[in-house]
Amino acid sequence: MYSNFSGRGRNVLSNWWSSLSQYQKITVAVVGLLLLYWIAVTGGGGLLSPARLLAIATIVFIAFPVHEFAHAATAVALGDETPRLQGRYTLNPLAHIDPMGAILILLVGFGWAKPVQWNPNRITIDRRLGAILVAMAGPLSNLALAILGFLLLRLHPYAGGFLSQFLSNFIIINVSLFVFNLIPVPPLDGSHVLFALLPGDTYKLRAQLSQYGFLILFAVLFLARGIISVPVELILRTLSRIFLA
């Protein structure tokens, strides 16, 4: 059977592109450039290795839900039922996955899930302290998962090949997510910690950073990866000495 894709296909793509917001268009363009750059540099081999793909799948379907559930559970424990009412008080991956964030995890090792919403006016402790606790719960869950990965490596110190590669990728990505999410730029968790620690009204600063947040993050990924890679390497060396010595 033959169908003329050239006309209809262009119309579908054109309509899809027109429906995107300016941010979404920028994100799609950047993701495409990252993919082309990665393939040009690595030939696609490291990107598509079975151990790394399994680690990425584990991140998307386990680590991301654990991260977002940690936010939700902390907010609920502090008295705000908003995450439960919105269906985010769950480990079900379908409630948390963001397709663009999942694609970025595959390409650059950093990404995100759909952020959990909560109401600081409903918690039973100081709002600033509550904001810090809710924000930090997510990144700390990634650090805990990385430690779990080290413990599994310790149980099987001589396990070579696929298992070691999978656990190594799983550990590195979780530590990278821990560091990445602590960058004090919206919408990352570190920005909520920053705003909670700053004195006075932070509305103007929050609005300005939110407007350019994703552009700043992409600039970091392209031009200043050391902001992430240096602390990641330090944490990995420290955890390795603690759990694999």
pLDDT of res. 128: 92
pLDDT above 80 for 14: no
- In the annotation, is 81 catalytic? no
User: For the chain, what percent of residues have pLDDT higher than 70?
Assistant: 78
Helices (H), the chain: 5-19, 22-42, 50-58, 64-77, 82-85, 99-108, 127-155, 162-181, 189-197, 203-223, 226-244
In this prediction the pTM is: 0.80
Domain spans, the chain: 49-244
Spot the catalytic one: 52, 58, 68, 181: 68
